[in-house]
Chains A and B, each alone.
Chain A
Amino acid sequence: GAVVSQHPSWVICKSGTSVKIECRSLDFQATTMFWYRQFPKQSLMLMATSNEGSKATYEQGVEKDKFLINHASLTLSTLTVTSAHPEDSSFYICSARNSGTTEAFFGQGTRLTVV
């Protein structure tokens, strides 16, 4: 079945630095990818919708200048957390839907810890 791969699985960074997370659709083209954030013991919350070749759409309350999204190809979307702070520590998950199927596919998630 369709697979979405996310990298890295975990990352620890110093406060003030930037971290890039990659999301790839391995066997299908994804014009749209979704980025979620999940805090401990909470559900997934949509952060933004990544659109290939155009600007991402951000959910209310999500700072677009802090969470930079680039969807430069039909198989790759990246999320860059800029000037990370400890409160940005969370589990980040990407998702994509193959137009040929109905279900959504999710990456393995990236656990970000900002120290």
Chain B
Amino acid sequence: DAKTTQPPSMDCAEGRAANLPCNHSTISGNEYVYWYRQIHSQGPQYIIHGLKNNETNEMASLIITEDRKSSTLILPHATLRDTAVYYCIVDNNAGNMLTFGGGTRLMVKP
């Protein structure tokens, strides 16, 4: 079973920040928080991951709470091409398969 909980859907206005929450209250100390997204009819695409500290790359920012029980993926300026299903996954980096939950379907609107 997936170890994360995400809202099933969210809307965001184009150009605004999209903040996608994820709960992972049972996360273990050696597990990372990963975010992937899946655009319609494509394979998932890696976005970002983190352990404890907040992370930022060219795609997004990841904010992890101090207790690590939740996190937020931030797309600073959402575009129409960011419309996708976003998956939050916890993983221990042991090279095993990823377990996907339901994800959040983000709709970016003009």
Contact = CB atoms under 8 A, between A and B. Distances in A.
Interface residues on B, range: 20 to 34
Contacts of A25: none
Interface string B62-99: 00000000000000000000000001000001010111
Nearest to A59: B97
Is the contact region of chain B dominated by helix, strand, or loop, or is it mixed?
Answer: loop
Interface string B94-107: 01011111110000
A106 B93 contact: no
B41 A91 contact: yes
Contacts of A36: 100
Contacts, number: 50
Nearest to A31: B95
Given A43-B101, A44-B100, A46-B99, A109 B46 contact: no
B75 to A, nearest CB: 18
A102 B32 contact: yes
Interface stretch (A14-22, A75-83, A92-100): A92-100
A97 B94 CA distance: 10
The residue in B34, B46, B97 that gathers the most chain A C-beta atoms within 10 A of its C-beta is B97
A34 B42 CA distance: 16
Contact of A34 (B32, B36, B97, B101): B97
A95 B97 contact: yes
Nearest to B32: A102
A43 B100 contact: yes
A6 B43 contact: yes
A102 B49 contact: yes
Contact of B42 (A99, A102, A109): A109
A49 B95 CA distance: 11
Interface of B: 2, 32, 34, 36, 38, 41-46, 49, 87, 93, 95, 97-103
Interface of A: 4, 6, 32, 34, 36, 43-46, 49, 91, 93, 95, 97, 99, 102-109, 111
